[in-house]
Structure formats: structure tokens, C-alpha cells
Chain A
Amino acid sequence: MAEAELKHNRIERRTQVSEFQHSIFVLRELVSKDFKLKYRRSILGVAWSVLNPLMMMLVLTAVFSYMFRFEIENYPLYLILGNTLFTLMSNSTNGALRSIMDSAPLIKKVKINKIVFPLQKIVFELINFATSFIAVVIVMVFFRIAPTVNIVFLPLLLLYMVLFCSGLGMLLASAVVFFRDIEYLWSVLLTAWTYATPLFYPADLWPEWLAALEQLNPMYHYITYYRDIMLWNITPDLKMNLMCLGFAVVQFAIGLYVFRKTERKFVLHV
């Protein structure tokens, strides 16, 4: 009798937590580990997440306002908006790319939903982005630029970005398990992408053919969206939203499909 009771207890405990809830808890612990490790031993700690984009902005403003002279209104804000959003993409995909390989000891030891590893990096960078938003606010206050009602579109933009970066991250994470050269290729591609996106120059510098080509650059659309709502006070129209959502959904679907197809083989290749 006692045995039957015991058995009953166990089954109950087992169903208490679903696999989904478990993955969320693992994800939370992994992200909090990243945070603890990132700022341990640095004196300013989390303040770096604010200082870093600010200092970067100062350097770039100095370079591009005195040396190249682009005629852009509120140039520092223009810069920091583009830079922080692009950093969210580049850091999260870079992190996700290494995530499966770096978690090799874990993948070989415990049964775990492997999707948490790329997502861990996306969530981590999303939180960093949120901190860097404080830097954006500081710049806005300093230049006395009032936020407009269009700021309500910000969560929508973040949703697009999270979908897009997760999809790209999952794709890269699984590809690099099988072909390590993708890691090096990706760092070159990111550099190229940085220059192909109007981060520190105005988009109207482009010749016509390039402008047409840029329609295929998702980051161009996301950054335009971000500046529209934060700087130019333009309400993104339906076409713009559909375009951004389209890139995000397609990228996410591809990434998820490839990841799910290959994840069973990770343990044999990491």
C-alpha cells in the first residue's frame, strides 16, 4: 500500500512541471549566468551597458561630423539609434552562432531542449539592448528631443527583431556545428552588413541601383523603422509593418526548421 502511495506521489510531482516550464527555468538560469559572468569583477558593472553605446556614439559623432560631414539633423541620435539596434542583431547572432558549440559539455551530459542555447543569447542581448536604451534617453534629453506618440510602435519593432534574430541565430548555430568555417565567414559578413546598412551615413547617398537592392536588406528596414518612430516622428504604415514582419517570420521559420531538423545530430558533432 505504502508503495502504491509513493508511486502516486512521484507521478504527481512529475506532471507538476511541463517540459515547456522546465525549459523556461533553464533559460532563466542560463541568462542570469551570462549576466553574473559578464559584470563580475568590473567596477562599473551594469553601467557599462549604458556607457558603451554612449562612448561609441561620441567617437562616431566626432569622426563623422568633423571628417565626413553628413547633413543629418540630430546626428548623434541618428547614430545611436542605428548603432544600438544593429548591435542587438550582430551580438545576438554572434552569440547564438557559438551557443551550441560552447554548450558541448552540457549537450553531452544532460537531456535538454537544445533550443534554449541560441535563445539564451537572444534574451541576453535583448536585455542589453534595453539597458542601452537608457543611453538613447540620455541623448534625447541632452539634445532636447521629445519622444512622440509613435514610440508605442517600439514593442512591435522589438517583436520583429526578436523573431528575426532568433531565426538567424538558430540557423547559424546549427550550421556552424557541421561547418566551423561559417564562424569566420559570419564575422566578415557582419562587417560588410554594417557598411551596407545606413548606420552612420544617410540612405539618400545611395545610387539608384543600390537603393533598389537595399529593399532586400532587413536591417535597413528595421533601422528605418526605429528612426521613424524615435527621431522623425513618422508613423510606420501598414506596408512597412508587413515588410518588417515578413522578413522576421520567414527568417524565423527557416531557422526553426533547420534547427529542429539537425538538433538530434548535434551531440555527435560538437
Chain B
Amino acid sequence: MAKKLTPLEPLSEEVLAALRENNEAHKGIDPIIEIEDVQMIFNIANEQLTNLKEYFIKIAKGELFYREFIALKNVSLNIYPGERYGLVGINGSGKSTLLKCIAGVLDPTQGCVRCYGTMAPLIELGAGFDPELTARENTYLNGALLGYTKDFIDKNFDSIISFAEVEDFVDMPLKNYSSGMQARIAFAIATATIPDILVVDESLSVGDFKFRQKCEARINELVETHGTTLLFVSHNSDEVKRVCNRAIWIDRGTMRMVGDVDAVLDAYNAPEN
């Protein structure tokens, strides 16, 4: 199906300069994630057409229109090993869409994302959790979906359960767990591996205070001792400053600003914005 490409929105000089500067600073090092001219367009059907009869009638009348929603207009970025990026922007600006493109859940309409390494996506935790299955069964299922091997889960099962602090309930169906306990298991499974790239999307706002501290400690451990590259989405500026060294400000699908975490967050939080 030949489709007319929607032109990319050009990046501002400022952003381009910042990107060049960062590429220069990492001369000779290969990026771990390459994001190239990524554009993501969602077709929003004017009416919900999932009905064959209506569909053919509309085609016959030549009335099949879609309204396009451009979630990402133009994102280009090289991320180098060990960098810790914070993504900021208001709701609906495209942060999660970008993360999903990086995690491979969404395919960009134009452009491409290349990742060179293993990834632990903490985008939506607990994929595939089934309330009728026990914690043990869910651990294997979820682990499989995250790309672990059976051996790996066998070996790490005890540490996952003890990290989640649910040792006494391993063989209880998940539906009897509180949502906080479920989140703890999900987080424990997702971070059982030492990934090259860790993608975190506001998922830590679940669980009690102590567990959130534990999560942040685990993320810090991965980043500091294992040199994991981090992509972190949060609305909490202090948290971003604490965890990240660089930041991207995404505004209506385009990169408004990229650079040092303090500079970007100060601009983002400036009163005139």
C-alpha cells in the first residue's frame, strides 16, 4: 500500500546543536540506542468502523476518512552506554509513545529505532499476569514474555520471591494478592536480569513507601554498579534530577529541548512555560 509520507517537523537549531555536541563528546563510542527521524501517526477513524457492512458502504461512497493524530512528529537521538535520560513533558506529549517505540511494542510510522543490547522494559508491569494462576506460575509466564529462559527463571526464582517479599504466598492464586503485592512481584521479575537498557515509565508509583525506596535503590544499583543505560519517565522533577544525568523535554510530539538534566528541567519548570 503506497502511502504518502507526512513530512517531518524540523528540529530546532538548539536541539540539533545539543545532539551534535553530545555525539562529539562520545566520539568513538557506538550508541546503544539509535533513534532516527521517528514519526508515529495514529489513525483515528471518524467513526468506529469495525463492521463489514458499514465498511463496504463507506468504501462504495468514497467516504472512508481517517483523522490522523501525529503522536511523535520528529525524534532523533543517539543514546550512549551509561547515559541516564529523563523524559519530561506534559500528559499526552508523546513520552510513553516514544518509550513504546524504543521497547519495540509500537512500530514507528516513519524512521526507526535500533537497540543494541538487552532491555528490561518497566513500562507496564505484570504483562500476562493471570489472576487465577499462582504467583509461581505467573512468574514463569511473565518471565517468558520478558524474554527469560526457563533456566534463568529457575535459578532466580528464590531471589525474585524474596525481593518481592511474598515468600509465604508463592502458591496462592494472584487474585488473592493486593495490588501492591502484585506490583512488587512484577517489578521483581522485570529487574531480575541485569539489562543493558532499563526503561522506566512511572511504574514505581505503586506499592508502599518502603517498596518504592527499594525499587529506586535497585535502579540505582543497576545504573551505578552495572552501567545500565536508563530511560526514565516521571513527573517528579526531584526524582528525575536524582536519578538522571541528561534529559529530554518532549512537547507535542517533538523534542523541545535536550541536554544536561538541570538545564532542561529548569527550562521545563520555568514559570513562563
Q: Which residues of A line the B interface, CB within 8 A?
A: 3, 6-7, 10, 13-14, 16-17, 21-22, 25-26, 28-30, 33, 36-37, 40, 105-112, 178-182, 264, 267-268
Task: Tell me whether chain A's interface is mostly helix, strand or loop, or mixed.
Answer: helix
Question: Quick one: given A105-B127, A110-B121, are A17 and B50 in contact (CB under 8 Å)?
Answer: no
B51 touches A6 (CB 8 A): no
B140 touches A6 (CB 8 A): no
Q: Which residues of B contact A21 (CB under 8 A)?
A: 149
Q: Tell me the complex Cα distance, A127–B186, Å.
A: 30
Q: Which of A13, A22, A36, A267 touches B133 (beta carbons < 8 Å)?
A: A36
Question: Quick one: given A36-B137, A267-B105, are A112 and B227 in contact (CB under 8 Å)?
Answer: no
Q: Which residues of A contact B57 (CB under 8 A)?
A: none
Q: Tell me the complex Cα distance, A60–B107, Å.
A: 51
Scoring B residues 49 to 68 as 1 if CB is less than 8 Å from chain A, else 0, what string do you get? 01111010000000000000
Q: Which residues of B contact A105 (CB under 8 A)?
A: 127-128
Interface status of B104 (Cβ within 8 A of chain A):
yes
Q: Which residues of B line the A interface, CB within 8 A?
A: 42-43, 50-53, 55, 81, 103-107, 117-118, 121, 123-124, 127-128, 130, 132-133, 137, 140-141, 144-147, 149-150, 194, 196, 226-227
A109 touches B123 (CB 8 A): yes
B50 touches A178 (CB 8 A): yes
Q: Which residues of A contact B117 (CB under 8 A)?
A: 10, 14
With CB as the reference atom, state the residue of chain B lying closest to A13: B118
Question: Quick one: given A6-B226, A40-B132, A110-B127, are A33 and B141 in contact (CB under 8 Å)?
Answer: yes
B194 touches A10 (CB 8 A): yes
Other than the known A14-B117, A108-B105, what 12 A-B pairs have Cβ atoms closer than 8 Å?
A13-B118, A16-B149, A22-B144, A25-B144, A25-B149, A25-B150, A29-B144, A36-B133, A107-B105, A110-B103, A110-B127, A181-B53
Q: How far is the CB of A38 from chain B (nearest CB, A)?
A: 10
Question: Quick one: given A29-B140, A33-B130, are A182 and B52 in contact (CB under 8 Å)?
Answer: yes
* Pairs A–B under 8 Å by Cβ, sample size 24: A3-B227, A6-B227, A10-B117, A10-B194, A17-B147, A17-B149, A22-B147, A22-B149, A28-B144, A29-B140, A29-B144, A33-B137, A108-B105, A108-B124, A109-B124, A109-B127, A110-B145, A110-B146, A179-B51, A181-B50, A181-B53, A182-B52, A267-B105, A268-B42
Q: Which residues of B contact A14 (CB under 8 A)?
A: 117-118
Q: How far is the CB of B127 from chain A (nearest CB, A)?
A: 4
A111 touches B105 (CB 8 A): yes
Q: Tell me the complex Cα distance, A10–B50, Å.
A: 45
Q: How far is the CB of A263 from chain B (nearest CB, A)?
A: 10
With CB as the reference atom, state the residue of chain A lying closest to B145: A110
The 9 residue pairs across chains A and B that have the minimum distance between CB atoms: A111-B104, A109-B127, A29-B144, A180-B50, A109-B124, A110-B127, A26-B144, A29-B141, A179-B52
